Structure 1
Amino acid sequence: MLGLPEEARACLFDLDGVLTRTAAVHAAAWKEMFDGFLRARAERTGDTFVPFDTVKDYGRYVDGKRREDGTRSFLESRGITLPEGDPGDPPETETIRGLGNRKNALVLKLIEEKGVETFEGSIDYVRRARQAGLKTAVVSSSRNTVQVLRVVGITDLFDARVDGVVAAERNLPGKPAPDTFLEGARELGVGPEHAVVFEDALAGVEAGRAGGFAYVVGVNRVNAEHAAALAERGADVVVDDLSELLGGNR
């Protein structure tokens, strides 16, 4: 009893914030990167330094998106335009790609120093879904998905993986476009009408709704405001933990 519609044949799980507690790590890395950039820019221009907000700015502009998309989106919200740059730009380069690489270096540093924790209720849910015969995939914008899955020892819980690396290789646009979730369903051999999306990010919920999936589960790890926003963006149900879904079909 997974709390899913009867037509569900596959589950597509986001990683950060749904399965692992790495969303907080990403938020901290985004803040450190953006605050460093914004502070240096304010000192050069004489403008007031306004720090990155790890709740409002993170959820609205960067959560669930590819690094370059999140970087660009937040800077645009501050009226800042930077050159796109190249994927190999050094972290100190003030380009969209350079700042994104700076953020990624910070994430890897934090993961190495603090490790990665999982949401045990979510991991148990994945196991139960597999026991019930449903196929499972992890669909994440992160390019560090393989490393994180390996660190927490859950690689074998998924039949397919579509992450930032795969998306770049296959030229798939990131969330809120539905393409990565659609690719995950294709990898599992099912149509979107038989797949369920599990997402904590607003952009991810939008992607699930745009893709015509059978059901979209919003996972709220923030507050009541975020829960309401997940519902507004198209989540069929919003839970604080996937364990809440166990016990009955919807």
Structure 2
Amino acid sequence: MLGLPDHVTACLFDLDGVLTPTAVVHNKAWTATFNEFLKARGLREFDPVHDYNDYVDGKPREAGVRDFLTSRGISLPQGTPDDSPDEQTVNGLGNRKNELLLKLLEQGGLQPYPSSVTYLERAQAAGLRRAVVSSSANTLQVITATGLAPMLEARVDGVTIRERGLKGKPAPDTFLEAARELGVEPARAAVFEDALAGVAAGRAGGFFVVGIDRVGGEHGEDLRRSGADVVVRDLAELLGEQA
């Protein structure tokens, strides 16, 4: 059904890069944030391909900051979630990134991937349960603005992670929480992810994992190595259609 094994009764969708192209906007915000920080220290710029995919993509904001800085041998105080965007802390840098992200979103209308909308509609018509699972704290705003909210029955996101004390991806906690909310066992749910951390989370949770490779190059193989059961360039491929 819909390119999935017959035993699958629920679909857990990542947001950025799977349902909406907000991954591009996230990448721009991360790149600008880190480059400003690195330039002030005379350090090599952030690589929007390798650094983004390896250390940032799919993770909670603070984890992305911490993991990237660690890769460069940099340590900052954790700070608190209320830190100013100008604070030289992990939370401060994360809040700076979010400030830039919201400005970028305001500058242009964000539209979901048409094939993802079609897939959601057909999943709903087929009686499959549906949830969005994202590390972004802006998930509700994005799914509301793009008209996806009515097609999604549950939402586990950056706000949920903080409120319920969940571990972010690559830990499986968020997907397990979404499955729990939908009332399905992990083995009967499919995870749709474009990030290596998200694929690893789906694999760790015992889900069927669909990797979405919108990057090309070696990313598809990286998704497979991280645990994807199948890799497609677009959800249209699962429907047997052209993207």
C-alpha distance after superposition, 1:117-168 (max 9, x if no partner): 2111111111111110100000000000010011111100101000000111
* Structure 1 vs Structure 2 CA RMSD: 1.0
* Structure-2 residue corresponding to 1:182: 176
Correspondence for 1:94 among 85, 88, 99: 88
**Paired residues for 1:2-151 under 5 Å:** 2-42=2-42, 49-151=43-145
* Structure-2 residue corresponding to 1:211: 205
Task: Give the total of aligned pairs.
Answer: 241
Q: For residue 19 of structure 2, what is the amino acid of its counterpart?
A: L
TM-score of the superposition, structure 1-length normalised? 0.95
Matches of 1:115 and 1:28, distance apart in 2: 16
C-alpha distance after superposition, 1:10-43 (max 9, x if no partner): 000000000001000000000000000001122x
C-alpha distance after superposition, 1:203-247 (max 9, x if no partner): 00000000011x100001101211110011000000000010014
Matches of 1:91 and 1:11, distance apart in 2: 35
> Aligned with 2:210: secondary structure?
strand
- Segments of 4+ in structure 1 off by > 4 A? none
Q: For residue 174 of structure 1, what is the amino acid of its counterpart?
A: G
Q: Extract unaligned runs of 5+ from structure 2.
A: none
Q: Extract unaligned runs of 5+ from structure 1.
A: 43-48
- Quote the offset at 1:111 in angstroms: 0.1
Q: For residue 88 of structure 1, what is the amino acid of its counterpart?
A: D
Matches of 2:31 and 2:179, distance apart in 1: 33
- Quote the offset at 1:115 in angstroms: 2.4
TM-score of the superposition, structure 2-length normalised? 0.98
